[in-house]
Chains A and B, each alone.
Chain A
Amino acid sequence: MTTPVKQKVISRKTTDLDTDYKWGFVTDIKSDLAPKGLNEDIIRLIVDKKNEPEWMLEWRLRAYRHWMKLNYEEPKWAKIHHPPIDFQDIYYYASPVKEKRPGSLDEVDPELVEAFNKLGIPIEEQKKLSGVAVDAIFDSVSIATTYKKTLEELGIIFCSVSEAVQKHPELIKKYLGSVVPYTDNFYASLNAAVFSDGTFAYIPPGVRCPLELMTYFRMNTEGTGQFERTLIIADEGSYVSYLEGCTAPMRKSNQLHAAVVELIALDNAEIKYSTLQNWYPGDKEGKGGVFNFVTKRGKAAGVNSKISWTQVETGSAITWKYPSVILQGDNSVGEFYSVALVNNYQQADTGTKMIHIGKNTKSTIVAKGISAGHGQNTYRGLVKIMPSATNARNFTRCDSLLIGDKCGAHTVPYIEVRNPTAQMEHEATTSKVSDDQLFYCMQRGISEEDAQHMIINGFCRGIFKELPFEFAMEASQLLKVSLEGAVG
Chain B
Amino acid sequence: MPHALATPDSYLTDFRTFETSLPDEGPDWIREVRQQALARFRELGFPTARRGNEKWKYTNVRPIADATFSYPFDAGAEVNLADIRSVAPWDDGWATVVFVNGRYSPALSTVVALDGVRVTNLEEAVRADGDVIERHLARHATFEDDGFTALNTAFLRDGAFVHVSEGESLQSPLHLIFVTAEGAEPGVSYPRTLIVAGARSELTVIESYVSLSSSRYLTDAVTEIVIGDGAQVDHYKLLLESEGAFHVATSRVYQSEDSVFTSTSYARGAAIARNDIRVLLDAPGSSCTLNGLYLTSGSQHIDNYINIEHAKPHGTSRLFYKGILDGESKAVFGGTVLVQPGADKTDAYQEDKNLLLSEKAEVASKPSLEIYADDVKCGHGATAGTIAEDAIFYMRSRGLDVETATAFLIEGFASGILDKVRVQPLRAFLEKLTAKALRGSRFGQAS
Which residues of A are interface residues toward B (Cβ below 8 A)? Answer: 76-77, 385, 387, 400, 402-432
Give every chain B residue within 8 A of A402 (Cβ-Cβ). Answer: 371, 373-374, 376
Give every chain A residue within 8 A of B378 (Cβ-Cβ). Answer: 429-431
In the docked arrangement, what's the CA distance between A427 and B382, Å?
Answer: 7
Closest CB of chain A to B387's CB: distance in Å? Answer: 9
By the criterion CB–CB under 8 Å, are B366 and A413 in contact?
A: yes
By the criterion CB–CB under 8 Å, are B381 and A432 in contact?
A: no
Interface residue? B386 (CB, 8 A): yes
By the criterion CB–CB under 8 Å, are A405 and B344 in contact?
A: yes
Tell me which of A77, A404, A418, A425 has the highest count of chain B C-beta atoms within 10 A of its own C-beta: A418
Give every chain A residue within 8 A of B187 (Cβ-Cβ). Answer: none
Write the chain B residue with the least CB distance to A400. B371
Write the chain A residue with the least CB distance to B365. A415
By the criterion CB–CB under 8 Å, are B373 and A417 in contact?
A: no
- Contact with A387, one of B342, B359, B364 (Cβ below 8 angstroms): B359
Interface residue? B380 (CB, 8 A): yes
Assuming the contacts A428-B380, A431-B378, asked whether A415 and B363 have C-beta atoms less than 8 A apart, the reply is yes
In the docked arrangement, what's the CA distance between A179 and B364, Å?
Answer: 25
Q: Mark B254-286, 1 if CB is under 8 A from A, else 0.
A: 000000000000000000000000000000000
In the docked arrangement, what's the CA distance between A426 and B380, Å?
Answer: 8
Instruction: Count residues on chain B whose CB falls below 8 Å from chain A CBs.
Output: 37
By the criterion CB–CB under 8 Å, are A405 and B380 in contact?
A: no
Would you list 15 pairs from A and B whose C-beta atoms are within 8 A, ordered by A residue? Answer: A387-B360, A404-B374, A405-B344, A405-B375, A407-B374, A413-B367, A416-B363, A416-B364, A416-B365, A420-B361, A423-B384, A428-B379, A430-B371, A430-B378, A432-B374
By the criterion CB–CB under 8 Å, are B362 and A418 in contact?
A: yes
In the docked arrangement, what's the CA distance between A415 and B351, Å?
Answer: 13
Give every chain B residue within 8 A of A430 (Cβ-Cβ). Answer: 369, 371, 376-379
By the criterion CB–CB under 8 Å, are A417 and B371 in contact?
A: no
By the criterion CB–CB under 8 Å, are B368 and A412 in contact?
A: yes
With contacts A409-B371, A416-B363, A428-B380 known, what are 17 further pairs, Cβ within 8 A? Answer: A77-B54, A385-B384, A387-B359, A387-B360, A404-B374, A407-B374, A409-B369, A410-B371, A413-B366, A413-B382, A416-B362, A422-B384, A423-B384, A424-B384, A425-B383, A428-B369, A430-B377
In the docked arrangement, what's the CA distance between A429 and B382, Å?
Answer: 12
Closest CB of chain A to B351's CB: distance in Å? Answer: 10
Give every chain A residue within 8 A of B381 (Cβ-Cβ). Answer: 425-428
* Binding site secondary structure of chain A: strand
- Contact with A408, one of B344, B365, B372, B380 (Cβ below 8 angstroms): B372
By the criterion CB–CB under 8 Å, are A426 and B361 in contact?
A: no
In the docked arrangement, what's the CA distance between A414 and B383, Å?
Answer: 12
Interface residue? B295 (CB, 8 A): no
Q: Mark B332-350, 1 if CB is under 8 A from A, else 0.
A: 0000000001101000000
By the criterion CB–CB under 8 Å, are B382 and A426 in contact?
A: yes
Write the chain A residue with the least CB distance to B382. A426
Write the chain A residue with the least CB distance to B369. A411
* Binding site secondary structure of chain B: strand
Closest CB of chain B to A402's CB: distance in Å? Answer: 4
Interface residue? B385 (CB, 8 A): yes
Interface residue? B213 (CB, 8 A): no
By the criterion CB–CB under 8 Å, are B363 and A408 in contact?
A: no
Interface residue? B210 (CB, 8 A): no
Give every chain A residue within 8 A of B385 (Cβ-Cβ). Answer: 420, 422-424
Assuming the contacts A410-B369, A420-B356, A420-B358, asked whether A415 and B364 have C-beta atoms less than 8 A apart, the reply is yes
In the docked arrangement, what's the CA distance between A421 and B355, Å?
Answer: 10
Closest CB of chain A to B367's CB: distance in Å? Answer: 7
In the docked arrangement, what's the CA distance between A425 and B381, Å?
Answer: 7
Interface residue? B23 (CB, 8 A): no
Closest CB of chain A to B24's CB: distance in Å? Answer: 48
Closest CB of chain B to A70's CB: distance in Å? Answer: 13
Q: Nearest 8 A-B pairs (CB), nearest first?
A: A420-B356, A402-B374, A417-B384, A429-B379, A411-B369, A415-B365, A412-B368, A420-B386
In the docked arrangement, what's the CA distance between A235 and B77, Å?
Answer: 72
Give every chain A residue within 8 A of B93 (Cβ-Cβ). Answer: none
Give every chain A residue within 8 A of B368 (Cβ-Cβ). Answer: 410-413
Closest CB of chain A to B250's CB: distance in Å? Answer: 22
By the criterion CB–CB under 8 Å, are B386 and A408 in contact?
A: no
Interface residue? B19 (CB, 8 A): no
Closest CB of chain B to A107's CB: distance in Å? Answer: 50
Write the chain B residue with the least CB distance to A396. B382
In the docked arrangement, what's the CA distance between A77 and B52, Å?
Answer: 7
Write the chain A residue with the least CB distance to B330. A418
Write the chain A residue with the least CB distance to B334. A414
Interface residue? B438 (CB, 8 A): no
Give every chain A residue within 8 A of B370 (Cβ-Cβ). Answer: 408, 410
Closest CB of chain B to A351's CB: distance in Å? Answer: 12
By the criterion CB–CB under 8 Å, are B379 and A417 in contact?
A: no
Interface residue? B177 (CB, 8 A): no
In the docked arrangement, what's the CA distance between A411 and B380, Å?
Answer: 9
- Contact with A431, one of B363, B364, B377, B382 (Cβ below 8 angstroms): B377
Closest CB of chain B to A243's CB: distance in Å? Answer: 32
In the docked arrangement, what's the CA distance between A419 and B359, Å?
Answer: 6
Closest CB of chain B to A419's CB: distance in Å? Answer: 7
- Contact with B366, one of A405, A408, A415, A419 (Cβ below 8 angstroms): A415
In the docked arrangement, what's the CA distance between A444 and B230, Å?
Answer: 43
Assuming the contacts A402-B371, A408-B371, A422-B384, asked whether A417 and B341 have C-beta atoms less than 8 A apart, the reply is no
By the criterion CB–CB under 8 Å, are B362 and A417 in contact?
A: yes
In the docked arrangement, what's the CA distance between A430 and B281, Å?
Answer: 19
Give every chain A residue within 8 A of B363 (Cβ-Cβ). Answer: 415-417
Tell me which of A385, A402, A427, A430 has the highest count of chain B C-beta atoms within 10 A of its own C-beta: A430
Give every chain B residue within 8 A of A426 (Cβ-Cβ). Answer: 365, 367, 380-383
Give every chain A residue within 8 A of B52 (Cβ-Cβ). Answer: 76-77
- Contact with A432, one of B366, B367, B375, B382 (Cβ below 8 angstroms): B375
Give every chain B residue within 8 A of A406 (Cβ-Cβ). Answer: 341
By the criterion CB–CB under 8 Å, are B379 and A415 in contact?
A: no
In the docked arrangement, what's the CA distance between A404 and B383, Å?
Answer: 32
Interface residue? B357 (CB, 8 A): yes
Give every chain A residue within 8 A of B380 (Cβ-Cβ). Answer: 411, 426-428
By the criterion CB–CB under 8 Å, are A415 and B369 in contact?
A: no
